[in-house]
Amino acid sequence: MTKRVKEILGYYRSENPGVLSNLARLLNHGRLGGTGKLVILPVDQGFEHGPARSFAGNPPAYDPLYHFQLAIDAGCNAYAAPLGFLESGAAEYAGELPLILKLNNHDVLCDEKDPLPSQTASVKDALRLGCAAIGYTIYPGSSQARGMYQQLREIAEEAKSHGLAVVVWSYPRGTALSKAGETSLDVVAYAAQIAAQLGAHVIKVKPPTANLEQPEAKKAYEKNKVPMETLSERIRHVVQSAFDGKRIVIFSGGPMEGDEQLLGEIREIHKGGGYGSIVGRNSFQRQRQQGIELLQKIMSIYAG
């Protein structure tokens, strides 16, 4: 166990040994194992965005096993997916990499302004499939947020009681927010704080822009001159907002973009003290070899 991983586990001292062991599994696996940094492959876009939008650009990615192999060959810390994808390969790849079962999902066939994901799997499923963690999405800013917070509270309690780690996708969205507000610094930092307060061990947010959405928050940023000009400064602020860096905060990759643009963003996340990335479309929508190479370049940045 490295000093850094021990230090991070120390932030979760009140958790039971099962949870701590599973957090250690996530932190110690793959090319970044032991560094305290993580790169995770998430493949729930088939459900969240639809199969053609997700996989038509790289048809081998329709196959669930493709993603297990991609995560293993690239050296990711873990692979996260909904029930169907994990059930398809969990036995074949048993013990080869930590898995995160996403317990809720949302589709865009009825793309409501105030989304409410459905619970699509259980803690029992996660245990049966040998997962290290459960994943859960909340949409702070949705008029349905209260229900999501309550569901997460219950499911996190159950997951932790069985020794599973809890990963929360905290994505602001809903009628209360403007489109730009979904990724504005104050709102992303708020979303990270809410996930931390709900007991998340690992928090996933989108990289924040320099926009400020809420007038009262804007006053606080201006009065206190919170540094927010560069992406690395904004990342630092989001990490600080999750218990002063005492919760693991990772950042999503977003839609397909050029290598250099994405790598530039990753350098800023690293510089700002982000714990890592969760990169789906930018890895599996590229040809296999290119996807692996890009993931490895990302890992090299985090490895310092």
Examine residue 57 and tell whether it contacts ligand FBP (CB under 6 A).
no
Examine residue 44 and tell whether it contacts ligand FBP (CB under 6 A).
yes
The residue assigned the tokens 């708020």 is 190
Cβ at position 182, least distance to ligand FBP in Å:
8
**Rounded Cα gap, residues 80 and 279, in angstroms:** 10
Sign of the dihedral defined by the CA atoms of residues 268, 272, 273, 274, in that order: negative
Examine residue 208 and tell whether it contacts ligand FBP (CB under 6 A).
no
Write out the binding residues for ligand FBP, residues 112-131 only, by CB under 6 A.
Answer: none
Of the residues 102, 160, 204, 206, which is catalytic?
204
Examine residue 169 and tell whether it contacts ligand FBP (CB under 6 A).
yes
Q: Are 281 and 45 in contact (CB under 8 A)?
A: yes
CA angle 243, 231, 27 (to 5 degrees): 50
Examine residue 184 and tell whether it contacts ligand FBP (CB under 6 A).
no
- HSE-CB of 250 using CA atoms within 13 angstroms: 28
Two tokens, residue 99: 């898995």
- Measured from the CB atom, the residue of 55 and 171 that comes closer to ligand FBP is 171
Examine residue 171 and tell whether it contacts ligand FBP (CB under 6 A).
yes
**Rounded Cα gap, residues 300 and 304, in angstroms:** 6
Examine residue 136 and tell whether it contacts ligand FBP (CB under 6 A).
no
The question of whether 37 is a catalytic residue gets the answer no
| C-alpha to C-alpha distances, 216 to 155, 212, 222, nearest whole angstrom | 33, 10, 10
Contacts of 277 (CB under 8 A, 6+ apart): 38, 39, 40, 250, 251, 252, 253, 266, 269, 298, 302
Cβ at position 171, least distance to ligand FBP in Å:
5
The stretch among 61-69, 214-222, 246-254, 287-295 that binds ligand FBP (CB under 6 A) is 246-254
Binding mask 247-286 for ligand FBP (x = CB under 6 A): -----xxx-----------------------xxxxx----
Find the binder of ligand FBP among 15, 48, 213, 268 (CB under 6 A): 48
Active site residues: 204
Binding stretches for ligand FBP (CB under 6 A) = 42, 44-45, 48, 169, 171, 252-254, 278-282
